[in-house]
Amino acid sequence: MHQATNTKGSRGTSLEGWVPYRYKRYWLFGLVTIISLVLPFIKINGNHFFLLNFDHKQLHFLF
């Protein structure tokens, strides 16, 4: 049997360095997950960088 071969001009050069959207989405979700897990443990001058207080229903961010 004879197999069909791809010709170079069938796709064009516009998609040469293209990365699928799902891979970009995976990287973004991973970055957001890491940031959201690390931020609550950072302290500046004894205050948490990001603190969600359920007792007083407050969100403290950056101070």
Q: What is the domain range of residue 47?
A: 20-61
Is residue 40 one of the residues assigned to a domain? yes
Is residue 5 one of the residues assigned to a domain? no
Is residue 57 one of the residues assigned to a domain? yes
Is residue 12 one of the residues assigned to a domain? no
**Taking the CA of residue 37 as centre, how many other CA atoms within 13 Å lie in the half-sphere pointing to its CB?**
6
pLDDT mean for each 10 residues of the chain (63 residues): 60 80 96 92 87 88 75
Looking at the 3D structure of the chain, how many domains does it have? 1
Q: How many CB atoms lie within 10 A of CB 46?
A: 5
Is residue 44 one of the residues assigned to a domain? yes
